[in-house]
A = this chain, B = another copy of it.
């Protein structure tokens, strides 16, 4: 598991630093998406707030994680699939945010349906966020 973290960083030509190792590991251990706060809570005061923001931004730039918009005004991040690379995301799956436990899931197997947009509109990115009750909370 630990080697996978190093591998991913090297594959993306990133220097190996404590914060990148720790934060990337957090993503690999988590099944859902993480907001900045989740990371800060999980690392204590090991890293500065700013370092976390910059590390997340670096990962997004490299295509390691992608952002998930939300109505509650806090950007969440989740690991990209292998198909993503620098400057080119392929995260056309939908996201699910649970109203009860606030966990955000990437529903990798639910494809975003194709849309017929009005004339003149050209889509470059589609975000689909479904909220409701997740499979753990509905039991």
Contact = CB atoms under 8 A, between A and B. Distances in A.
A87 to B, nearest CB: 14
A101 interface: no
Interface size class of A (residues with CB under 8 A): 35 or more
A123 B116 contact: no
A131 interface: yes
A128 B131 contact: no
A57 B100 CA distance: 22
A113 B115 CA distance: 8
Contacts of A11: none
B116 A110 contact: yes
A118 to B, nearest CB: 6
Contact of A115 (B120, B123, B130): B130
A115 B126 CA distance: 15
Interface of A: 67, 69-71, 73-75, 94, 96, 99, 107, 109-110, 113, 115-136, 138-139
